Structure 1
Amino acid sequence: MMGLRSIPLIVVLMAGGALAMYLPAAHALVLRQHEVARAFFYSGSFLLILIAMVGIATLNRPPPRAARAHLGTLAGAYLILPPMLAVPFTLAVPDTSFANAWFEMLSSFTTTGATLYDTPGRLPPSVHLWRALVGWLGGFFVLTAAMAVLAPLSLGGMEVISGRVPGREQANQITRVADPTERLLRQSLALLPAYAGLTLALWGLLVLAGESGLVGLCHAMGTLSTSGISPVEGMTSSSAGLAGEVLIFVFLFFAISRRLLPGTAMVDRDTPIRRDPEVMMAFFFLLGVPVVLFLRHWIGAIETEDSRNIAAAARAMWGGLFTTMSFLTTTGYESTAWVASRSWSGLGTPGLILLGLAIVGGGVATTAGGVKLLRVYALYRHAERELERIVHPSSIGGQGVVARRLRREGAYVAWIFFMLFAFSIAFVTAAMSLTGLEFEPSMVLGIAALTTTGPLADLAVETPIRWSGLGGAAKMIAGAAMVVGRLETLAILALLAPATWRR
C-alpha cells in the first residue's frame, strides 16, 4: 500500500481494470472459446505493459492540490477507463463498433445497465461476464469514492447532514492533506471483504435456488452494484423463480442505507436503524407504492371479472413490491409477477411511477443513483415544519440540533440539488430531441441515464425504447448524462468552481 501511494490514482485504477480482464479470459478458456479468451488475455497483457510504463514515468510525481485532485480523479476515471475497458469487448465481438463497445462499458461502469444488444445470445457468455464484472467494479468504485472523496468534501448527499459548504474540506485536514490514493486504498480495504463476500453469498444462494452459475453470478453482481445487468432477459428468464427474486429483494436493502454495509464510514451508529431517515423513507415507498399498484390492478381485474383470483392477486402484490424495490434502488430488475399482474388486470405499465421511483433513488453513499432518499427526507421534514408553523406560528421545532440542521441548511442544499437535477433532465431531454427523437423517448432516456437506471427505457413506456436505435450523437449525450448522474451535479460544480482551483 505504501508503494501504491507514490503512483497516481488513475494509474492504479487503470491497472485494476486491466487485471480484471483475466477473469473473463479464464472463463472463455474453460468454455473452449479460444478467440474470446485471446481477446481478453492479450488486451489485459498489452494494457498492463503500457500502464506499467506510465506508472514508472509518473512515479513519485508530486500530487496536485487536494480538492481538485479528488474530484478530478473521479471525472478522469469515467473518461479514461471506459475506452480502455472497451478494447477487449471490441475484439471479442467483431461485428460491433468501438463506439458501441465504449457505450456498453460506460453504461456498465456507471452502473446504468443500458445495453445496445437487445438479444442476449448475440454476445458470448464471457462478454456477459465482463459486462457484469465492469458494473460490479463500477459499484465498488462508487462506494469507495463516496466514503473517501465525496464525504470529506460534503458531497454526494453528505452535505445534507454535515452543515458545511459543499465542495470544501474540513478545517482539520488543512495541516496534512490526505492523498486521494491513500484514502481510496484504505477505504477499499475496509469495504472489499463485505462487498465481495455479500456478492459471493448471493451467488451461492441463487445457485442453490436453481440458477445457473453464470446467470447467478451476473445477477449477484448486478444486485450489489445496482447495475441490473443480466446475461438473459432479466428475471423473466431466470431459473431461480420466486426464490431468486426474494433473495435479490433482501440484498437490495444494502442500497437503501450505507449503515447496512459493514466497513462504511460516516454513520451514526447511535441512532436505531428503525429511526434511520433513509430506512423510514424507503419503507414509506415500499408500503405505499405496491398498495397503489395493487389497487390499480385489482380495479382492472374487477372489470375483467377476475378479481377473486387470489393467486393472481398475490402475484400482483409481490410483483409491485419487488419492482418498487428494484427501481427505488435504480437497479431495474423486473419481477416475473409484474408481467403476470398486467395479464391479470389487463392494464399497461404505470411508467410514471417507475420514473418517479428512479428519480428518488436509494441511499447516500451507496451504489444507487437518483436524488437520494436522505435529500427527499430533508425536503419532507422542511415541508412538515413549514406547515406546522402555519398552524402554530410561535412553535419551536425540537428533536435536537441535528434535526434542526436537517430541516434548515440540509433542506436548502437538498432543494438546490433537486433543482439542478430537474434542470439536468430538461437539458438532456432537449439535447436528445435535437437529435431527432420525440419528446417522450427523449425524456425517458434522459431520466434513465441521469438516474443510472437503464431498464427504464424498456419498462417506463408502453412501447419499449431500444438503446440500440440511438444515433451517434444521442449515444454521446446519453453517455455524458450517465457520467453526470453518477458524479452528481454538485460535485461537478465543485470541480469547476474557481475556489476549488486555489485550494
Structure 2
Amino acid sequence: MHRILNIPLMVILMGVGATAMLVPAFYGLAVNDHLSARAFGYSAFLFYFIVLMVGLATYNNKNRNVARSHLLALPLAYAGLPLMLAVPFNEAVRDTTFVNAYLEMVSSLTTTGATSFDDPARLRDSVHLWRALVGWMGGFFVWVTALAILAPKNLGGFEVISSATIGRGARKIEEHVRNTDPRALLLRYSQQLLPIYTGLTGALWLALILSGESAFVAACHAMSTLATSGISPIGGLENSTTGFPAELLIFIFFIFALTRQTFTPDTTKQGLRRLRNDPEFMLAGLIVLCVPAFLFFRHWLGAYDVDEQQNLSAALHAAWGSVFSVMSFLSTTGFSSADWELARNWSGLQTPGLVLVGLALVGGGVATTAGGVKLLRVYALYKHGLREMDKLVHPSSVGGAGALARHIRGQGAYVAWVFFMLFALSIALVMTALALTGLSFETATILTISALSTTGPLTQVASADPISFAALPEAAKLILSAAMVLGRLETLAIIALLNPEFWRQ
C-alpha cells in the first residue's frame, strides 16, 4: 500500500476518478441506460490506460520537498481533474458544450453544487449519480487534505489557533505532524476517515429510505449532505414527497459541517464533552437560534391577529423552514426547506434571501466540507471585540482564560482579519471580472459570493428571480470555475504557494 504513495498525488487522484466512473456505468447497465453506461465505461478504461502509463513514468520520482508538491497538487487537482471528469459527462449529455460539462465538474468537485441544467429531467439518473458522486469524493478529499496537507502547513483556518508562521509549520503541540512525511499522513488519514465518511453516508441513506424516499434520490441526497454540495436529482428538497421526516434527518447530519470535533479520529473519543466546549459548535448553535427567531418574530404579532387558528399551523411550518434553511446555508450545503417559501412570506422582509447570503459567507467549521470564511475566524474576531470593549472600561486589565484564548484574541484575530480582507478583495476582483462579461451588479454579486463560499444553490434563493447558469456567457462560466477553486482552497493557500520563501525550503 505504501508503494502507491511513490506515485504523484495527481496521478493517484486520476486513478480514483477513473475507478469512480465505473459506478454510473454499472448503474446505467442496471437501469437500461446504455448510452450513459458506454460513455462512463469507455472513459474509465481510457483513463485507466493513461493513468497506468503516467504512473509507470513517474513512479518513485524523487521530490526534494514532498510537502510543497502536495500543496501544489491541490489547485492542480481542483482545476485540472475536472477536465478528465467532464469527458464522460459531455459524452452522456449530448446537447451541451464541454465548457458546461467542465463547470459542472468543477462545481461538484469543489462541493459548490451549482448547475447549468435548470431542469433536472434533462439529465439521466446515471448523470445525476455522477454529479453527486463527484461531489461526495470532493468532500472526502477536503477532509483528508485539510488534516494531512493544510494543517501541517498552518493553513485552512488552523492559523487562527497556531503560533507558527502561516504556510510553514503546525502547532507546537503537533510537532510530530510537521515532521511526518505528507504521503504517510495522507494514507493514515484516508484509512481513518474513509470508514467514518462512508458509514455516515450509508446511515443517512438508509434513514432517508425508511422515511419514504426512493433509494436513488436518498443516495444522492445523502452524499450531497455529507459533502455539503447541495446536489439533488429532483431539483431540491422542496420537490421531495417525504417532506418533514427527510428534512429532519438531513438537518441532524448538518452538524458534521459545523465542527471537525464530530468526526476527527483524535477527538471522537472525548465525546460530547469536547463538542460542548468547541467554540465553532457553540457559535453555530447561537446563529441557528437567533436568525430564525428574528425571521419568525418580526411579523408574528401581525400574523397572529389575522387568524389565530390558521396561523398557528403556519407559524410552526414557517419556524421549521427558517431553522432548516439557516442551518443548511450556514453549512454551505444550500438545501432549501419545503417550508422556506412560507418562511419568506412570514418574515415580511422584501429580500430574505440576503440573510442566507450572509450565512453562506460565514460558513461552517475548519477542516470540514463547508466553505465560507469559517466559524473559527468569526469567533476570533468576536472575542477580540469583546476584549477591546473590556479594555475601554478597564485599560489596565489583563485578559485571562489561558494562553490559547489570549492567542485567539490577539494573533488569531489578526490573521482572521487579514483573511477577511483577502476574501473581500477576492469578491471585488471576481465581481469586476464578471461585470466585464456584461452581467449586472446584483447578478455578479450573488454569483461571486455563491462561488467563493461554495454555495451554488444560493443563486436560486438570494434574489427575487433565480439566476440561471445556462444563460451566462462562456467567459463568465470560466471565471466562476476559477472562483470556485479559489473559494475551496482559500486565498491564504494560494499566497503561500506564491511566497518565494516557500520555494527556498
TM range (shorter): over 0.9
Q: Distance in 2 between matches of 1:176 and 1:414?
A: 22
Alignment correspondent of 1:256: 258
Residues 226 and 330 in structure 1, CA contact (< 8 A), matched pair in contact too: yes
Q: Distance in 1 between matches of 2:308 and 2:27?
A: 48
The one-letter amino acid of 1:435's match is: T
Residues 22 and 44 in structure 2, CA contact (< 8 A), matched pair in contact too: yes
Q: Distance in 2 between matches of 1:345 and 1:450?
A: 27
Alignment correspondent of 2:155: 155
Equivalent residues in 2 for 1:357-376 (5 A)? 357-376=359-378
Residue 49 (structure 1) aligned with residue 49 (structure 2): yes
The one-letter amino acid of 2:3's match is: G
Secondary structure at the aligned position of 2:397 is classed as coil
Alignment correspondent of 1:39: 39
TM-fit CA distance, 1:306: 6.6
Stretch moving more, 72-81 or 368-377: 72-81
Secondary structure at the aligned position of 1:152 is classed as coil
Equivalent residues in 2 for 1:54-65 (5 A)? 54-65=54-65
Residues 9 and 70 in structure 2, CA contact (< 8 A), matched pair in contact too: no
TM-fit CA distance, 1:308: 5.9
Q: Distance in 1 between matches of 2:145 and 2:228?
A: 16
Q: Distance in 2 between matches of 1:174 and 1:338?
A: 47
Q: Distance in 2 between matches of 1:300 and 1:430?
A: 42
Equivalent residues in 2 for 1:95-494 (5 A)? 95-170=95-170, 178-263=180-265, 272-298=274-300, 301=303, 309-343=311-345, 348-494=350-496
When residues 266 and 243 of structure 1 are mapped into structure 2, their CA distance, relative to the original with a 3 A threshold, is closer
TM-fit CA distance, 1:342: 3.5
Residues 319 and 338 in structure 1, CA contact (< 8 A), matched pair in contact too: yes
TM-fit CA distance, 1:487: 0.2
User: Deviations for 1:70-128, whole angstroms, at most 9, x for unmatched residues?
Assistant: 21011111122101000100111111111110000000000000000000000000100
Specify every segment of 5 or more residues in structure 2 that has no aligned partner in the other structure, as ranges.
none
Q: Distance in 1 between matches of 2:470 and 2:177?
A: 51
User: Deviations for 1:279-307, whole angstroms, at most 9, x for unmatched residues?
Assistant: 11101101100001112353563686678
Q: Distance in 2 between matches of 1:270 and 1:389?
A: 34
TM-fit CA distance, 1:180: 3.3
Q: Distance in 1 between matches of 2:426 and 2:267?
A: 30
Residues 152 and 178 in structure 2, CA contact (< 8 A), matched pair in contact too: no
The one-letter amino acid of 1:194's match is: I
The one-letter amino acid of 2:27's match is: H
Residues 295 and 347 in structure 2, CA contact (< 8 A), matched pair in contact too: no
Stretch moving more, 271-280 or 240-249: 271-280
TM-fit CA distance, 1:185: 1.9
Q: Distance in 1 between matches of 2:384 and 2:359?
A: 21
Secondary structure at the aligned position of 2:15 is classed as helix
User: Deviations for 1:363-386, whole angstroms, at most 9, x for unmatched residues?
Assistant: 000000000000000000000000
Q: Distance in 2 between matches of 1:274 and 1:149?
A: 27
TM-fit CA distance, 1:429: 1.1
User: Deviations for 1:371-418, whole angstroms, at most 9, x for unmatched residues?
Assistant: 000000000000000000001111110001111011001000101001
Q: Distance in 2 between matches of 1:45 and 1:287?
A: 50
State the identity as a percent: 55
When residues 135 and 420 of structure 1 are mapped into structure 2, their CA distance, relative to the original with a 3 A threshold, is same
Q: Distance in 2 between matches of 1:110 and 1:298?
A: 39
When residues 269 and 208 of structure 1 are mapped into structure 2, their CA distance, relative to the original with a 3 A threshold, is closer
Specify every segment of 5 or more residues in structure 1 that has no aligned partner in the other structure, as ranges.
none
Q: Distance in 1 between matches of 2:167 and 2:308?
A: 56
Q: Distance in 2 between matches of 1:488 and 1:380?
A: 21
TM-score of the superposition, structure 2-length normalised?
0.96
Residues 66 and 178 in structure 1, CA contact (< 8 A), matched pair in contact too: no
Q: Distance in 2 between matches of 1:317 and 1:68?
A: 48
Q: Distance in 2 between matches of 1:175 and 1:93?
A: 44
TM-fit CA distance, 1:427: 1.1
Q: Distance in 1 between matches of 2:177 and 2:333?
A: 41
When residues 206 and 498 of structure 1 are mapped into structure 2, their CA distance, relative to the original with a 3 A threshold, is same
Q: Distance in 2 between matches of 1:29 and 1:118?
A: 26
The one-letter amino acid of 2:249's match is: L
Residues 108 and 131 in structure 2, CA contact (< 8 A), matched pair in contact too: yes
Q: Distance in 2 between matches of 1:304 and 1:460?
A: 29
Paired residues, number: 503
The one-letter amino acid of 1:452's match is: T
Residue 9 (structure 1) aligned with residue 6 (structure 2): no
Stretch moving more, 68-77 or 490-499: 68-77
When residues 174 and 344 of structure 1 are mapped into structure 2, their CA distance, relative to the original with a 3 A threshold, is closer
Q: Distance in 1 between matches of 2:500 and 2:237?
A: 47
Stretch moving more, 296-305 or 317-326: 296-305
The one-letter amino acid of 1:383's match is: G
Stretch moving more, 381-390 or 171-180: 171-180
TM-fit CA distance, 1:5: 1.8
RMSD: 2.1
The one-letter amino acid of 2:154's match is: S
Secondary structure at the aligned position of 1:468 is classed as coil
The one-letter amino acid of 2:49's match is: I
